[in-house]
Amino acid sequence: MTKGVKIILICVIVVFAVSAVLSLFFLRPADSKNVSVIRDNRELYRFDLSTAKDEKIRIDYEDGGYNIIEIKNGEIRISEADCPDNTCVKTGTLKSEEMPVVCLPHHLILRFDEE
């Protein structure tokens, strides 16, 4: 094995290790069960997922757009939106305090509150 191949192999191992550690940090479950729904720095809703009943909430905007927030089995997500790329819907359920669910076109954020 040449010196160049060894260096590349070491770099790949280091990148893999750092990625694994960061993934564990960002994807760890949230300590809090309190969730805020925020738009333009204004809290629209607050839920305690440990006691919240299953429901869907539609948020309509002045420009005709909308988001539908779904609470089901103690989890919350954006289940439907009219934004062009639907990234907020594809994100799935809110799992981590470090990774909120965000709908950029509508300025909407689902995030866990600090205790």
Specify whether 46 is located in the same domain as 95: yes
Specify whether 25 is located in the same domain as 43: no
Does pLDDT of 27 surpass 90? Answer: no
- The candidate with the shortest Cα–Cα distance to 45, out of 68, 65, 22, 73, is 68
Cα–Cα distance between 82 and 67 in angstroms, integer? 7
Does pLDDT of 30 surpass 60? Answer: no
Q: What's the pTM value of the predicted model, to 2 decimals?
A: 0.70
Does pLDDT of 18 surpass 90? Answer: no
Cα–Cα distance between 16 and 114 in angstroms, integer? 31
Specify whether 39 is located in the same domain as 26: no
The total number of structural domains in the chain stands at 2
Specify whether 57 is located in the same domain as 4: no
Strands (E), the chain: 34-39, 42-48, 55-60, 66-72, 75-81, 101-103, 108-112
Cα–Cα distance between 16 and 12 in angstroms, integer? 6
Specify whether 38 is located in the same domain as 4: no
pLDDT of residue 17: 85
pLDDT of residue 24: 66
Domain enclosing residue 47, as ranges: 34-112
Specify whether 60 is located in the same domain as 107: yes
Q: pLDDT per residue over 50-96, tens digit each? A: 888 999 999 999 888 999 999 999 899 999 999 888 999 999 999 88
